[in-house]
Structure 1
Amino acid sequence: MSRLRKIIFIALLVAQGVIIGLIENMIPYPFAFAPGAKLGLANLITIIALFTMPKRESFMLIWMRLILTTLLGGTISTFLYSMSGALLSYGGMLLVKQLGPKRVSIIGISATGGFMHNVGQLVTASWIAQSWTVMLYLPILSFLGILSGIAIGISANYLLQRVDTLRRFQTEYEEQTHVSWKT
């Protein structure tokens, strides 16, 4: 794969992630019993990146998406919450992905990301509030994060199977890593 083609692919994924994130920020919170809970639709791009490019490039994609989304419609506090959630989620997904395709699916990896994202955000909220009582939201947000992660994992799995460009990038990445996630 040429360097230019790889850069274009990363730029397109970043742009898609930013647009999805900005659109999601315009949607009112759907869960009245858990203020601030969102679906995390932009994480679809993170899952796709995990299965189509090396760790270094997917990590760079996450940072570019975080920074651009904050510059276009966020604040320092939203950046802190998004960053902590995204980084813990990314790390958790990488760890679970190491189990391999025989032990865990893309959907399971995504559910892990949904859970870990909420943990990261609640730890940041606890730090800002200087109180661990914020962690009482964890059971509710964990349930919602896992459900959202499952839905995003199903969507990512569908896209990786049906979109030719994504399938080609995934095939090239799998040839480099010698691990196939195709079902």
Structure 2
Amino acid sequence: MSTYKADRTRQYIYIALLCAQGVIIGLLERMIPFPFAFAPGAKLGLANLITIISLFTMSIPDSFILMCLRLLLTTLLGGTLSTFLYSGAGAVLSWFGMLLIKQLGEKRVSMIGISAAGGILHNVGQLLVASLIAQSWTVMLYLPVLAFMGILAGIAVGIAAN
């Protein structure tokens, strides 16, 4: 086997392993009740740990493919169209935002900071979908509560990834 094929095979295996881990984490997290009643729907987003890891260990296209595969498989195995829309909007906005922030460099922003920003952006993406579905921007009034939860969750995920 040529070196290129062997390297690409290793990359596919790495994507598959991270994807499997992300799907398992995502499905397990859906079964855990979150104790904060003041923020219904809030969760830690532990599967985003895989997204952070991919941003630091893979090429940009491979990281995007991983995020999409993880989202699709998690939805197929334990979600609905609604969860796909909300999770998809949050995941894509979060991924792009974290990618852009990462470009600032290690001296300006840490992995924890990138993850915290991703947590907030994930919530913004979900609320944008909710606003479109509800045909009302008043849903965005929930953003301060979710942003606070997103920062905390992002810090926790960033610490775990670090």
Q: TM-score range by the shorter chain?
A: over 0.9
The amino acid across from 1:127 in the alignment is L
The amino acid across from 2:118 in the alignment is G
How many angstroms does 1:114 deviate by? 0.3
How many angstroms does 1:4 deviate by? 1.4
The separation in 2 between residues aligned to 1:27 and 1:109, in whole angstroms, is 25
Corresponding position of 1:39? 44
1:57-96 matches, within 5 Å, as 57-96=62-101
Q: Would you identify which runs of 4 or more consecutive aligned residues in structure 1 move more than 4 Å?
A: none
Kept in 2, the 8 Å contact 1:125–1:134? The answer is yes
Corresponding position of 1:2? 7
1:89-104 matches, within 5 Å, as 89-104=94-109
> Deviation digits for residues 35-75 of structure 1, max 9, x if unmatched?
11111000000000000001100000000001100100100
Kept in 2, the 8 Å contact 1:30–1:38? The answer is no
Instruction: Identify unmatched segments of 5+ residues in structure 2.
Output: 1-5
Match status 1:140 vs 2:145: yes
Alignment TM-score, normalising by the size of structure 2: 0.95
Instruction: Give the secondary structure class of the aligned counterpart of 1:149.
Output: helix
Cα RMSD, aligned residues only: 0.8
Kept in 2, the 8 Å contact 1:14–1:65? The answer is yes
Residue identity over aligned pairs, in percent, reads 74
Q: 1:149 aligns with which of 154, 157, 161?
A: 154
Alignment TM-score, normalising by the size of structure 1: 0.84
How many residues are paired up? 157
> Deviation digits for residues 10-56 of structure 1, max 9, x if unmatched?
10000000000000011113210011111100000000000000110
Instruction: Identify unmatched segments of 5+ residues in structure 1.
Output: 158-183
Q: 2:32 aligns with which of 27, 41, 45?
A: 27
Instruction: Give the secondary structure class of the aligned counterpart of 1:51.
Output: helix
